Amino acid sequence: MVDDHLKEKIEYLKIVAEHYRMDVQAVWVRSTAFIAINAGIIALYGSSYLANDADARFYIILLSVATNVFWGLNQYVTSEWIADWRHALCHLDSQIKFPGSDYGMTFYLVEEENNGLIKRKKKNKFKLHKIVRPQHIARAVPWIIMSIWIGLFFNMIGIHMYFCIRGDVFHFMLSHK
């Protein structure tokens, strides 16, 4: 028979586990939304490129950088929030051990093993030890996409500067419709 104190801990564990699950799900829903927004911005950029509208491309790049900064900050804060909930979940789980059985401490044991893997990777000097959890990948994606947009911006500026230095004013004026 399970005592009332253990039942109470199990109920708390269910609540924390559900909150943790909902936060993880929210990260992936938001990521999907931001990827859809970036896909729309890419389509808009492509159409402005085909229309040879440099001014529109400039503003589209600014919009994308602003969107990705917001997304990146959101992902960072959310992943820290999830780490706190994961820690709370593991702490509660470490306190639950069913009398007379090997069941219990599931989240705690998985977390301990994961931390062991991280330490081994640091000791063996693997470079990818920081990308262990999915939220670390989700945290990096906005900054990678933003760096691509910034690269497009500098490419656009470089092409225009080349034509100005070369003296091809006619081509420069055509690209600035």
Q: What is the pLDDT of residues 129-142, one digit of tens each?
A: 444 667 777 788 89
Position 127 confidence tier, pLDDT thresholds 50, 70, 90: very low
User: How far is residue 103's CA from residue 116's CA, in Å, rounded to a whole number?
Assistant: 21
pTM for this model (two decimals): 0.66
Q: CB–CB of 42/71 below 8 Å?
A: no
Nearby residues of 169 by Cβ (< 8 Å), 6 or more positions away = 163
φ, ψ (nearest 5 deg) of residue 97 = -140, 120
What is the total count of domains within the chain?
1
Classified as helix, coil or strand, 104 is: strand
Of these ranges, 24-28, 49-53, 141-145, the one predicted with the greatest mean pLDDT is: 141-145
Of these ranges, 114-123, 138-147, 162-171, the one predicted with the greatest mean pLDDT is: 138-147
Is pLDDT at 173 greater than 70 in this prediction?
A: no
Q: What is the DSSP letter of 52?
A: T
Q: What is the pLDDT of residue 171?
A: 55
Average pLDDT over residues 37-59: 88
Q: How many CA atoms lie within 13 A of 134 on its CB side?
A: 7
User: How far is residue 89's CA from residue 12's CA, in Å, rounded to a whole number?
Assistant: 9
DSSP-assigned beta bridge partners for residue 53: 176
Look at 126 and 9; give whichever has higher pLDDT: 9
Residue 91 sits at the vertex; the CA angle it makes with 87 and 92, to the nearest 5 degrees, is: 120
User: How far is residue 177's CA from residue 169's CA, in Å, rounded to a whole number?
Assistant: 13
* Domain housing 58: 4-174
